[in-house]
Amino acid sequence: MPDTPIRPRSTQVDPGLVSFPGVTIPWAAAEASTSSALAHASAAIARLDQALQSHPLQTAFLYRARLEAVRRQAAVDGQSIDAWHLAAVLEGLRLRMDSALRIIDRGAIFEAARHALGLHQWLAFPDFDQEGEVQSAEKALVAVPVSTPLLAAATGMHTWLNHGGTRPPMRAALVRYWIRHRLLRMPVPLTGAAALRPDAPFEAAAWVPAFLMALAEEAADGLQLLFDMERAWFAARRAVAGRRRTSRAPAAIDILAAAPLASASSLAAGLGMAVNNATALMDGFCAEGIAVEVTHRSKRRLFGLAGLAPLRAEVAPPRRPMPGRGRGRPPILQIEVDQPPAPLPGRPLSPIERRAFDYSELEHWIAHAEQAIRQTRHVLDLTARAVGIADSGQ
């Protein structure tokens, strides 16, 4: 980083010009473009922050928002990955791949998954070395003497990248910067990824407005994501609202809304019921179209609300030997019988009751998800090394 940050030229030179690294343009043109982008970004971020305040789906929204942020970042880094593909990788699920793919194509898929997992780690839980780089990027943002936080962030990020800084630590630093300057009250990953597309201009006069507009687009998409999640949650709640007062179905819907994927054992622990009963409850939800089972398994199944149906297409079923192959044939397994709970009449929930839910168990589920992410990264590292050895032997 240079000793002196970027500043507009002094009025002693020419008050009608503004200077950025490598370009000098008329002040009126720069001010009009930047002011419009600044207004759009400020309004979009404020709307998102207001909607998230005290919202019961905050934790689930942050999980989904990180997935979308990583998808955007990986795309501009040249490692495109589908959002549902990424969700499957984060959960440690085996991906569905075409058997005709060459080894080099499979290696490219694993490399994209590794890159996406690394980006997710920078945003969610950086390790010791990454934390040091993030703090250096934070200092670079604070060093910019611009009164407006959004302009300071744009200028600081441009300076960081222009002097050889890498993207991941600056992106993580931006998330903390928004909270430090009270633009957001939650660590929403707004990083302006679209401003770093290969075809985007990098001259500061053009890049700063592009970065601000990218932030506005991400904030607007985040607000729409929150509305979609809330709509799916309320629709599922309405589908089970007529059951008996002691039914665990409404609480199960709340868990599925808060955690994108949940196992029957996690649901049983959160609901205080037997695993078999939780499995029967989820099977009933799947039969009614409220939820979907994404793992193609008879054991260790994962469930989510119906909006996660595309994830099922990304997950491969477990490998099983073909029946009737003689020696080594697997034993005959008992077929699972759906036992959906019978709906009983009851009073509908009021709007206030719909939002009054206890999410004290979410920390346990988030910790479980982080452990699965770390284990998946280790498996992908081993697979990538095996693919490299196979390529070198061709």
Which pLDDT score, from 0 to 100, does residue 100 have? 63
Tokens 């059951």, residue?
A: 243
Is the separation of the CB atoms in 301 and 292 below 8 Å?
no
Contacts of 371 (CB under 8 A, 6+ apart): none
Which pLDDT score, from 0 to 100, does residue 115 have? 86
Which pLDDT score, from 0 to 100, does residue 363 have? 62
Indicate the angle between helix axes 103-124 and 128-142, nearest 10 degrees: 60
Which pLDDT score, from 0 to 100, does residue 89 have? 67
pTM above 0.75, yes or no: no
Beta bridge partners of 20: 23
Distance of alpha carbon 234 from alpha carbon 226, whole angstroms: 12
Contacts of 386 (CB under 8 A, 6+ apart): none
User: DSSP letter string over 281-299?
Assistant: HHHHHHHTTSEEE-S--SS
**Closest CA relative to residue 28, chosen from 38, 44, 17:** 17
Domain ranges for the chain, please list them.
28-224, 230-317+357-392
Residue type (1 letter), 390: A
Is the separation of the CB atoms in 242 and 346 below 8 Å?
yes
| b/e burial code for range 304-334 (CB count within 10 A of at least 16 → b) | bbbbbeebbebbeeeeeeeeeeeeeeeeeee
Tens digits of residue pLDDT in 29-75: 456 688 899 999 999 999 999 999 988 888 889 988 998 999 899 99
Which pLDDT score, from 0 to 100, does residue 6 have? 38
Distance of alpha carbon 188 from alpha carbon 184, whole angstroms: 7
Helix (H) or strand (E) holding 65: helix 58-76
Taking the alpha carbons at both ends of the chain, their separation in whole angstroms is 44
Q: What is the pLDDT along the chain (394 residues), one digit of tens a residue?
A: 444 443 333 333 343 444 433 334 343 445 668 889 999 999 999 999 999 998 888 888 998 899 899 989 999 998 887 666 666 666 666 665 566 667 777 777 778 878 888 998 999 989 999 999 999 999 999 998 877 899 999 999 999 999 999 999 999 999 999 999 999 999 999 999 999 999 998 998 899 999 999 999 999 999 999 998 888 888 888 888 888 888 888 888 888 887 767 778 888 888 888 988 988 998 898 888 888 777 655 556 777 777 654 444 444 444 445 555 555 555 555 554 544 544 443 444 455 554 555 555 556 666 666 777 777 777 777 776 766 666 665 5
Distance of alpha carbon 151 from alpha carbon 7, whole angstroms: 12
Which pair of structure tokens corresponds to residue 41?
Answer: 């970004």
Domain 230-317+357-392: give its CATH code.
1.10.10.10
Distance of alpha carbon 157 from alpha carbon 142, whole angstroms: 11
Tokens 């061709």, residue?
A: 394
The number of residues making up the chain comes to 394
Sheet of 262-263: strand order equals 262-263, 302-305, 291-293
